[in-house]
Structure 1
Amino acid sequence: MRVDKYLKNSRLIKRRTMAKEACEQGRVYINGKVAKPGDEVKVEDIIEIRLGTGSVKVKVLSTKDNVPKNQAQELYKNL
């Protein structure tokens, strides 16, 4: 699954366009490397998002599509 789509499905970033822009600005990392919007995300990958003054680091547990809002946190684990 594309990283911009995963960030939107997991509700880590509210909209896919915002996720795409964050990737293009070099604020999203997959396993320590800067991610492009089309980079693939796999189970066990570590994603780090640096927005504003803070950052979020998560481990991918699942790459399901069309997940209900109340189950979005089951796609990742906070580190």
Structure 2
Amino acid sequence: MRLDKFLKVSRIIKRRSVAKEVADKGRIQINGKLAKSSSTLKVGDVLCIQFGNKRLEVKVTELKDSTKKEDATQMYEILSEEKIRLEDLKE
């Protein structure tokens, strides 16, 4: 499954166009490597996503083409979530 579609279906990012923009700006890594919106995900992959002042690390547990809102969180497991200081972003 494409990265941008996974982010939308899992509801980590609300819209696919926003997911594509975040990925194409180099703010997402898959297993430690920079990812593009078209990158292919597999179960077990670890994503590191940087949204503004927050860094989220999740492990892909399921791939589904569509989900109900209550089932979306079953598609991933949160490994870590941290706030980033502005000074750290400038480095």
Shorter-chain TM-score bucket reads: over 0.9
User: 1:59 is matched by which residue type in structure 2?
Assistant: K
Q: Which has the larger radius of gyration?
A: 2
Unpaired stretches in structure 2, ≥5 consecutive residues: 80-91
Corresponding residue of 2:65: 65
CA deviation map 1:6-34 (0-9, x unaligned): 00000000100000000110011100111
Q: What is the TM-score normalised by the length of structure 2? A: 0.85
Name which structure has the greater RCO, CA cutoff 8 Å, separation 6+.
1
Distance 2:6 2:62 in 1: 10
Q: Deviations over 1:4-62 (max 9, x none)?
A: 00000000001000000001100111001111111000000001110111111000000
- 1:77 positional shift: 0.3
TM-score with structure 1 length normalisation?
Answer: 0.97
Aligned to 1:71, what secondary structure does the other structure show?
Answer: helix
What SS is found at the alignment partner of 1:5? helix
Q: Does 1:55 align with 2:55?
A: yes
Aligned residues: 79
The 1-side partners of 2:47 and 2:34 are apart by 10
Q: Which runs of 5 or more structure 1 residues have no equivalent in the other structure?
A: none
Query: What residue is the counterpart of 2:77 in the other structure?
Result: 77
CA RMSD of aligned residues (A): 0.5
